A and B are shown apart, each in its own frame.
Chain A
Amino acid sequence: MNSSHQTFAEKASRLATEAAVRATPEPLAKRVRGFSDRAIAWLFIAPTIALLLAINIFPLFWAIYLSFTNYRANRPNAEVRNIGLSNYSRILNDPDIWASMQTTAHFVFWTILLQTVIGFGLAYLIDRKFRGHAFWTTLILIPMMLSPAVVGNFWRFLYEPQIGLFAYAVSFLTGIPTSDIQMLGSVQLAPWAIVIVDTWMWTPYVMLICLAGLRSIPDYIYEAAEVDRASPWRQFWSITVPMALPFIMLAVLFRGIENFKMFDMVNLLTGGGPGSTTEVASIALKRDAFEAWATGRSSAFAIVLFVAVFGLANIYVKALNRVKQR
């Protein structure tokens, strides 16, 4: 009886093995003559790599090369000379470019400050899970889903001093005549006009990330704190803020990088004007590259910007990791 059991088991296992062999497809390499598995793997990822090289890596290196030349894209037949670092020295000594960098810094600072404070505040309110909070969340998220081109255009209408709703509302509330509310035309107001639009559009994004952070804090930590007699104020500062901080920092990183290279909204709303009051770095770069056609110099400028963003982001990510590891 014992031996018959064994033969049965053997038979069963042999049958199972055969079935498995039949079910498994032959390695592709055996069927495609002359290719190893590794070669086929390369074949599959080659298109992606080629695309990446063509539209990302090559332009980067080409721009680095151009930044050392006097090349001008509107004079393709002119002689291209290597002029060393003189493009870089001109950029770093150009007060206009430094002014545009300063404008960018102001713009990044104020948009991030406002978006973080308002975004976190909204997330904190939505997290209370009151009746209809899902509806309000969706409503708040709408601006973020619009195209920046659309947003830029309709805010230009809203900002119109004669027919714009924004000017009308401000005038209605403050009594200042609408003709004085030249949001896009006034040197004092134009930078704020852009800050307002960017905040309107991107605060929901910051809110969403902060909300994820707040939702990740378990209820029982608050309950423990409550039993430990921590006031709501103390709970906020010793539990909510530290535990949501990595998320807030992440939102700041994303918005910071985005706004450092902000172009579309500024270009649509003011085009850098009036004068050069809203000329952020990317607008200055565009003017240099496609209005002055100083391709070599603008390439150098682009490289400077790239290094600046890359460097700042790296420092920031290190700080973020330190906060997360606590």
Chain B
Amino acid sequence: MADVILKGITKSFGDKRAVDAVDLHIHDGEFVVLLGPTGAGKTTTLRLIAGLETPDAGTLHIGGRPMQGLAPASRDVAFVFQQYSLYPHLTVYENLAFPLRSPARRMDAATIDARVRQVAKMVRIDHKLENRSTRLSGGEMQRVAIGRALVRRPSIYLMDEPLSSLDAKLRAELRLELKRIQKELGATLLYVTHDQIEAMTMADRIGILSEGRLVQIGTPREIYTDPANLHVAARLGQPHINILPVGLLPGAEAPAGTAKVGARTEHIAIARQDGGNARVDWIEHLGDQNHLHIKVGEHRLVTLADPDMPVAPGDGISVALRNPLYFGQDGNRLDGRRLA
């Protein structure tokens, strides 16, 4: 394992700048998640680190070694693709052993066997070692793909939305397993996703990408409570952050230059009150909690509410702000950072 350092990495495809001057320092043993919408440059960043693409500008060091001009094979990285990139004519065992059988590694058969069986157990596929890889379910295939990366001990594991093609239950399961395995191995891991829950639950640090730029990087808590701008704030939180005009709701002193106020559930105080400043428009029952859709004048906002709260659509309600986030005209945060 080793530190991975990107400096000013830039890559364009034709006119489109896919990755724009990205600086990123991934520490040894760290789990970093790149989060962003489709087309933000997440996958390209991974491919640049793996050597599957060549950067137009910038430098990349893995474990202190400059990577410029090195082929993927000589970079000592492992890659898990979004598609199940298994070798279809091989068994699960042979798929897992494939990277170890490279003549460059000179590994003896007994070591390979031990490693394959250990990893198969780790990703819980050890009961299907002799199956053809095409005879597996989607979840099993992706576990083999992850296992094929784990049999190696590379400087860094690169994972490109490895869980996105799985169903919700399996995704939640594998999310936990992956985090457990990463801790167990002390692995350095760069993980790409557009799923905020994956990012929040697994990452040591989250990097938010937007249009090829790394907008903000920090711990999940920092990114959530202390977003640098509107874009970052909108990436995290369920329900979505409410973007409101200044002065719409009472309870907050907006600093000078505020253009928009961002209010998540925890920034909104609600109380049942006839003749309050707002009206309940709609209620979504999620079971353990309710999504409350509220209308303040012409503006709508969504917040969470206790399912026992005695309100119905059409009821009056009073809404106030509680320490919300303030954004300037350019979308950047105004009210300093809250966490060190």
Contact = CB atoms under 8 A, between A and B. Distances in A.
A224 B85 contact: yes
A242 B94 CA distance: 14
Contact of B83 (A220, A225, A234): A220
Given A221-B87, A242-B89, A243-B89, A226 B71 contact: yes
A220 B89 contact: no
B104 A223 contact: no
A175 B187 CA distance: 68
Interface in B70-98: 71-73, 77-79, 81, 83, 85, 87-90, 98
A228 B148 contact: yes
Contacts of A220: 81, 83, 85
B17 interface: no
Interface string A209-238: 000000000101101111111110010001
A239 interface: yes
B102 A229 contact: yes
Contacts of B104: 229
Contact of A226 (B72, B132, B134): B72
B162 to A, nearest CB: 12
Interface residues of B, number: 25
Contacts, number: 57
B72 A227 contact: yes
A217 to B, nearest CB: 9
Interface string B237-268: 00000000000000000000000000000000
A152 B103 CA distance: 50
Contacts of B103: 231
B89 A227 contact: no
Most buried by A among B52, B71, B105: B52
Given A223-B85, A238-B87, A228 B52 contact: no
A128 interface: no
Given A229-B105, A230-B102, A231-B103, A223 B81 contact: yes
A224 to B, nearest CB: 4
B218 interface: no
B99 interface: yes
A234 B100 CA distance: 13
A234 B88 CA distance: 15
Given A229-B104, A230-B98, A224 B81 contact: yes
Interface of A is mostly: helix
A319 to B, nearest CB: 15
Contact of A243 (B52, B77, B88): B88
Nearest to B102: A229
A326 interface: yes
Nearest to A241: B89
Contacts of B99: 228-229
B319 interface: no
A242 B90 CA distance: 10
B50 interface: yes
Contacts of B71: 226
Contacts of B132: 326
Most buried by A among B77, B83, B85, B132: B85
Nearest to B52: A223
Interface size class of A (residues with CB under 8 A): 10 to 19
Contacts of B79: 223-224, 227
Nearest to A228: B99
Most buried by A among B83, B87, B99, B148: B87
Contacts of B89: 242-243, 326
A238 B99 CA distance: 12
B85 A226 contact: no
A305 B105 CA distance: 54
Given A221-B85, A239-B87, A228 B102 contact: yes
A240 B148 CA distance: 19
Contact of A229 (B73, B88, B134, B148): B73
B148 A218 contact: no
Interface in B59-77: 71-73, 77
Most buried by B among A221, A224, A227, A230: A227
A248 to B, nearest CB: 14
A296 B104 CA distance: 67
Nearest to B151: A228
A239 B87 CA distance: 7
A228 B51 CA distance: 12
A227 B50 contact: yes
A228 B73 CA distance: 7
Interface of B: 50, 52, 71-73, 77-79, 81, 83, 85, 87-90, 98-99, 102-105, 132, 134, 148, 152
Given A227-B52, A229-B102, A230-B73, 13 more contacts: A218-B83, A221-B87, A223-B79, A224-B81, A226-B52, A226-B72, A227-B50, A228-B99, A228-B102, A230-B98, A230-B102, A238-B90, A243-B88
Instruction: Please name the 4 residue pairs, one residue from A and one from B, whose CB atoms are nearest each other, closest first.
Output: A228-B99, A229-B102, A224-B85, A229-B73
15 contacts: A220-B81, A221-B85, A223-B52, A227-B72, A227-B77, A228-B78, A228-B98, A228-B99, A228-B102, A229-B73, A229-B99, A230-B102, A238-B98, A243-B88, A326-B89
Interface of A: 218, 220-221, 223-231, 234, 238-239, 242-243, 326
